[in-house]
Every structure is written in structure tokens, then in C-alpha cells.
């Protein structure tokens, strides 16, 4: 029997761990929740969460063995299971952490795709590192199946190698619906009204809710409801006051967007077990009641959308006619900020991959393949600052095999680069005009005359030298 030095796997971090960062970004950890870090290592997450006013305690068999194990709203089992070589102990650890989670268990482990050159000395179902530590590397679907089978739950992929296991089904559905809810736009104030001017500060929370959800709130959904009712008589009356001053297009847009978001959520729910209406949280039940004749009717519409998203001829047609994104013969590329502006079926197409893999860290350009059912997540860290940013990494999710392929370009001598960055963005993006001006300059200097020569850094630099120009910032200047 090998003896592995598990304590050597605990690393010193300068910031919060990736699973904790994700849960914070997703709104699942806040000052209103308590956190317990099961296998906390050197305690970096504990110290940083507590410094932010978030109650967090932890336990670790080596670094904090005297601490008691406490239940908490959120329990984090961060990169613990992959260092346990005994399969029975691994399952027992997962169940012990789950027992402490009142609302949510976060489980994370390393994936095969994260390790470029794994060690070759195999041990149990993993391998031994040069430090003598054990590592079990998972595939994304393998990790989910193990979590679900061990705990008897349906976990949710938060990111590659990170899963959320919710205690209540309604909590899981609330989170899933939130992933495909686009941010509301500020409404356009078109007219003046004395009653609105007198009460606009009081009515502001109602306006925010209407823009975000496209419907009137239930009284219990809006903390400011009592103040609004006291001021104008009822929420319905407050809505009529707002309707008198807001352009009709804003209301229509909010309703259309919210309806689309709901259909995408319901369509993707088919990949696990679509919840019964009674299992939906109250706010989603209210949404269904407001936008559809029945839950059954909403599910039928969602199924029709899902069928269309599986038709590559339809995907190709929608990509070709899309006014958003950069089209190539094989794909449509969009910046992450433009994803919500795509046709709902294209959003659903991408959502099929995201449901499997979760949020891909650092990926800011999404490639929707037009001939084969797959989605690529591309990382261009310098997209905003570099006029022609280099590709650092790509993660490809084939929607038939789900065998994820990861490629790294950070050490490549001649990486692929981007041109015409404005095409990746939606019309309202604040940098679009700046990028478009650069493209217009580059076209005037003839830099795009041979597109096949400029797709990589070396080819681009060669073209610049031939044309005797330089790109400084987002401007073309003559070379000295």
C-alpha cells in the first residue's frame, strides 16, 4: 500500500479559491449566509471570507484538526476528493460534507483537461505526483455522475470541475433560471407626469422589478411594496403611473426578453428532470402564470425550441442571418457580452454546452459551430486593450460526445489573433465604435487584402512590415 502525503497538496493562495469565487459571483454566498470549508487546507478562504463580513469556519485533518465540524448554509469541499486514494473514504468524505450543508454543497476536483502532462506512476484510480501526493483526475461527466450517485441528488455544473448540490429542488431551479436571465436595460422616459415626478423615488424599486421580470411583482417579492401602496394606492396603480411616462417599447422588450429567458431555462431543464410546477419557486410560478396560458403550454414551446436547436440546418441559417457576431464559413463568433442578444435558439444552442460544462473561466469569446454540433469557449485576456489580442486557450464542447477538448496557446510562438473586434460586440457596447475606427483605418492601409495571411501574429507582423505601418493603441501610424 502506498502512503501518500496529502498535506503537501494544500497550497498558499493570494486570493479566494475558484469555487468560492464562483459562488460569490452567482450570489450563493453573501453576508447573509454562513460557510463551512471542509478540508480548508491552510485556511486562506476562511480568512478572506471573514474579512468580507461573511461568517466562515473550517476544518482540515492536517492544518486545522482541532476545529469542530459545523453545519452551515454553504459547505465547500474544495479539491479534497481528488487527493483521497481510497474510494470508500472518498465517498464517506463527500457524504460527511453533504450532511453539514443546510442549503448548498460546493464540490470541486481537478479534471484531466487541466493537466497538460500528468505523472505516469499510476496508483488506485489516479496517479502519484513527484511530491508523493495522490491525484484523481476526473472527466466532467464522470465527476457529476459520481456526485449524483453518491448523494442521490442532481447536481449542477457551475464550471469545469465545480458542481453545486442544492438541498432543495426549488433552490436548484432558481439558480438554473438565473443563469439564462439577461440583465435588464434602463427604460426610456418618454413623457412627463406630475404624479410620477412626485413619487419617482418611491416607485423606483417597482420600475426595476418590472424591467427585470417583465411583470408585476407579488407583494412579498418587493420589499418596498408597502411604501408604494401607501403612496399611490396599489402596485397596479404604481404600474399605471409608470406606464404613463415610459415608452411602450420598453415594456414590450422586457416582456419579450423575460419570456425568451424562461423558455431557454425550461428547454434546458429537459437535460435533467424537468421540475413539476409545484417544485418551482414562487417567483418562477408567477412568471409562468404571467407569460403563458399554462405550465404545460410553456413546456411545449420550450421543447419546440430545443428541437430547433438540435437542427444544424436551422443553426446555420440563424448564424448566417445574425446581425450580431463575426461570421466565418464555419462558425459565428460573439463576445460574451453579446451572447444574450442572439436569437433565442442560438442562445439555447450555446446553453446546451454551458449546462454541461458551466462557466468557463477566462472565456470571453464564444464560437458557435455551424456545421457540427459543438461550442468553443475562447480566452482572449487582452481583448479590450490589445488591438489584435492573441488566443490564450480554447475549450471545445462537442454536443454529441461531450468529450471536452482543451488547448493552450500561452506558450505558442505564433498564436492566432483577432481582427475586426467590433464585429464580436453588440451595437450598444461602449468600445464598439473605437474598434470600428481601427478597422476602417486598417482597411484604408490595405492590411486586409490577404485575409489568409494575417490570422496569426507572425503573419500579421509581416503584413505590417510590408505596408510600412505600425498599430499603436487602436490607431495605425506610419513606421519610422
Q: What is the pLDDT of residue 131?
A: 66
Q: How large is the average pLDDT for residues 254-278?
A: 94
| Model confidence at 2: pLDDT above 50 | no
| Cα–Cα distances in angstroms (integers) from residue 271 to residues 156, 229, 356, in the given order | 11, 42, 9
Looking at the DSSP bridge assignments, the partners of residue 416 are 456
Q: What is the pLDDT of residue 1?
A: 31
Q: What is the pLDDT of residue 243?
A: 85
Nearest CA to 441 out of 480, 475, 479 is that of 475
DSSP string, 336-385: GGGGGGS-HHHHHHHHHHHHHH---TT--EEEEESSSSEEEEEE-TTTTT
| Model confidence at 5: pLDDT above 60 | no
Q: How large is the average pLDDT for residues 392-415?
A: 95
Question: What cell does 79 get?
Answer: 479539491
CA–CA separation, 73 vs 66, rounded Å? 22
Confidence class for position 117, pLDDT limits 50, 70, 90? low
- What integer best gives the mean pLDDT of the chain? 92
Question: What cell does 73 get?
Answer: 448554509
The overall pTM is greater than 0.85: yes
Confidence class for position 190, pLDDT limits 50, 70, 90? low
Domain spans, the chain? 6-167, 194-246, 312-422, 428-478
Which tens digit of pLDDT belongs to each residue from 445-461? 999 999 999 999 999 99
CA–CA separation, 37 vs 75, rounded Å? 6
Confidence class for position 11, pLDDT limits 50, 70, 90? low
Region at 152 (left for phi over 0; alpha for psi -120 to 50; beta for the rest)? left
DSSP class of residue 54?
-
Beta strands in 235-345 (DSSP E): 326-327, 331-335
Using CB atoms within 10 A of its CB, is residue 412 exposed (0-12), middle (13-18) or buried (19+)? Answer: middle
Lowest mean pLDDT among 90-104, 184-198, 344-358, 401-415: 184-198
| Model confidence at 191: pLDDT above 70 | no
| 348, 301 Cβ separation under 8 angstroms | no
Residue found under cell 428532470:
273
CA–CA separation, 36 vs 99, rounded Å? 12
Among 209-213, 240-244, 464-468, the range of highest mean pLDDT: 464-468
Q: What is the pLDDT of residue 113?
A: 86
- The reply to whether CATH 3.20.20.120 applies to domain 6-167 is no
Confidence class for position 24, pLDDT limits 50, 70, 90? very high
CA–CA separation, 194 vs 2, rounded Å? 79
Which tens digit of pLDDT belongs to each residue from 167-176? 999 999 999 9
CA–CA separation, 349 vs 307, rounded Å? 10
Measured CA angle at 76 (ends 87, 352), to 5 deg: 85
Amino acid at each position: 500500500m502506498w502512503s501518500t502525503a496529502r498535506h503537501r497538496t494544500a497550497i498558499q493562495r493570494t486570493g479566494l479559491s475558484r469555487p468560492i469565487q464562483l459562488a460569490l459571483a452567482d450570489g450563493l454566498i453573501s453576508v447573509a449566509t454562513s460557510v463551512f470549508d471542509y478540508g480548508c487546507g491552510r485556511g486562506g478562504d476562511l480568512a478572506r471570507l471573514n474579512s468580507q463580513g461573511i461568517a466562515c469556519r473550517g476544518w482540515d485533518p492536517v492544518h486545522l484538526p482541532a476545529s469542530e465540524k459545523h453545519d452551515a448554509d454553504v459547505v465547500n469541499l474544495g479539491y479534497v476528493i481528488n487527493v483521497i486514494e481510497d474510494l470508500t473514504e472518498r465517498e464517506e468524505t463527500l457524504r460527511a460534507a453533504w450532511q453539514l450543508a443546510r442549503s448548498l454543497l460546493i464540490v470541486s476536483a481537478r479534471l484531466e483537461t487541466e493537466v497538460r502532462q500528468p505523472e505516469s506512476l499510476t496508483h488506485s484510480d489516479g496517479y502519484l505526483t513527484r511530491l508523493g501526493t495522490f491525484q484523481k483526475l476526473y472527466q466532467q461527466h464522470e465527476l457529476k455522475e459520481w456526485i449524483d450517485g453518491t448523494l442521490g441528488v442532481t447536481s449542477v455544473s457551475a464550471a469545469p470541475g465545480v458542481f453545486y448540490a442544492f438541498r432543495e429542488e426549488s433552490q436548484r431551479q432558481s439558480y438554473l433560471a438565473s443563469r439564462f436571465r439577461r440583465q435588464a436595460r434602463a427604460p426610456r422616459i418618454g413623457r412627463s407626469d406630475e404624479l410620477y415626478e412626485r413619487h419617482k423615488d418611491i416607485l423606483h424599486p417597482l420600475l426595476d422589478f418590472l424591467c427585470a421580470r417583465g411583470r408585476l411583482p407579488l407583494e412579498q417579492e418587493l420589499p418596498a411594496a408597502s411604501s408604494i401602496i401607501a403612496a399611490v394606492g396599489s402596485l397596479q396603480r404604481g404600474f399605471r403611473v409608470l406606464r404613463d411616462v415610459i415608452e411602450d417599447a420598453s415594456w414590450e422588450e422586457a416582456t419579450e426578453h423575460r419570456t425568451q429567458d424562461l423558455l431557454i431555462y425550461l428547454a434546458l431543464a429537459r437535460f435533467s428532470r424537468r421540475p413539476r410546477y409545484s417544485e418551482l419557486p414562487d417567483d418562477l410560478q408567477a412568471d409562468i402564470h404571467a407569460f403563458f396560458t399554462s405550465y404545460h403550454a410553456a413546456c411545449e414551446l420550450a421543447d419546440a425550441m430545443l428541437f430547433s436547436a438540435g437542427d444544424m440546418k436551422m443553426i446555420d441559417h440563424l448564424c448566417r442571418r445574425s446581425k450580431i457576431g463575426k461570421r466565418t464559413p464555419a462558425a459565428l463568433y460573439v463576445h460574451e457580452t453579446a451572447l444574450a442578444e442572439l436569437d433565442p435558439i442560438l442562445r439555447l444552442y450555446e446553453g446546451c454546452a454551458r449546462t454541461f460544462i458551466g462557466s468557463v473561466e477566462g472565456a470571453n469569446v464564444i464560437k458557435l459551430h455551424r456545421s457540427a454540433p459543438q461550442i468553443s469557449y475562447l480566452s482572449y485576456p487582452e481583448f479590450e486593450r490589445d488591438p489584435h489580442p492573441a488566443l490564450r486557450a480554447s475549450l471545445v464542447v462537442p454536443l454529441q460526445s461531450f468529450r471536452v477538448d482543451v488547448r493552450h496557446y500561452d506558450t505558442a510562438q505564433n498564436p492566432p489573433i483577432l481582427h475586426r473586434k467590433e464585429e464580436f460586440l453588440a451595437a450598444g457596447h461602449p468600445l464598439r465604435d473605437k474598434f470600428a475606427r481601427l478597422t476602417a483605418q486598417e482597411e484604408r492601409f490595405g492590411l486586409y487584402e490577404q485575409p489568409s495571411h494575417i490570422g496569426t501574429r507572425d503573419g500579421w507582423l509581416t503584413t505590417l512590415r510590408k505596408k510600412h505601418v505600425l498599430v499603436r493603441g487602436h490607431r495605425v501610424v506610419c513606421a519610422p
